């Protein structure tokens, strides 16, 4: 059920002109045949645009491009495609630059976490090879 709602979140973003995909651990789990426990979404929509599209949101990391969307009782982290500048503490970048899906996947911690999944066309997108 949660995948159905994640797909609807992606569809709503796309219907409003924003490229959007599932990303991270949920894609890794699906590739491995494991049912994901949560779904993260990467998008071209900026944090304020995400907040304007969905009635229930929380700004959990807007300066890093991350908004929590609560949809049908489930939470989805929706992050704007970005690249990170230097890290002062190993976890938080000093600055983020909103960018393309290709650049976004190369900043992710593991190659498999760099896979994107298009839930509307049922296909994996692999820019990291």
- Where does the pLDDT of residue 68 fall: very low under 50, low under 70, confident under 90, or very high at 90 and above? very high
**Other residues' Cβ atoms within 10 Å of the Cβ of residue 100:** 13
Q: Residue 107: phi, psi to the nearest 5?
A: -90, -10
**What is the pLDDT, as a whole number, of residue 48?**
96
**Other residues' Cβ atoms within 10 Å of the Cβ of residue 107:** 14
pLDDT in tens, 75-122: 999 999 988 666 666 666 666 788 899 998 887 777 778 899 999 999
DSSP-assigned letter for residue 72: T
**What is the pLDDT, as a whole number, of residue 39?**
96
Of 54, 22, 55, 28, nearest in space to 41 by CA: 22
pLDDT in tens, 9-65: 999 999 999 999 999 999 999 989 999 999 999 999 999 999 999 999 999 987 888
Helix (H) or strand (E) run with residue 57 in it: strand 57-61
- Where does the pLDDT of residue 71 fall: very low under 50, low under 70, confident under 90, or very high at 90 and above? very high
**Left if phi > 0, otherwise alpha if psi is -120 to 50, otherwise beta: which for 35?**
beta
């Amino acid at each position: 059920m949660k995948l159905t709602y994640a797909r609807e979140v992606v569809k709503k973003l796309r219907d409003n002109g924003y490229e959007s995909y599932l990303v991270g651990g949920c894609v890794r789990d699906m590739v491995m045949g494991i049912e994901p426990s949560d779904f993260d979404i990467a998008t071209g929509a900026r944090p304020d645009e995400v907040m304007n599209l969905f009635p229930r949101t929380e700004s959990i990391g807007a300066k890093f491009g991350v908004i929590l969307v609560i949809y049908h009782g489930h939470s989805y982290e929706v992050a704007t495609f970005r690249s990170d500048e230097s890290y002062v503490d190993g976890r938080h970048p000093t600055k983020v630059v909103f960018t393309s899906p290709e650049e976004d996947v190369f900043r992710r911690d593991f190659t498999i976490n760099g896979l994107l999944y298009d839930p509307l066309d049922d296909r994996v997108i692999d820019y990291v090879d």
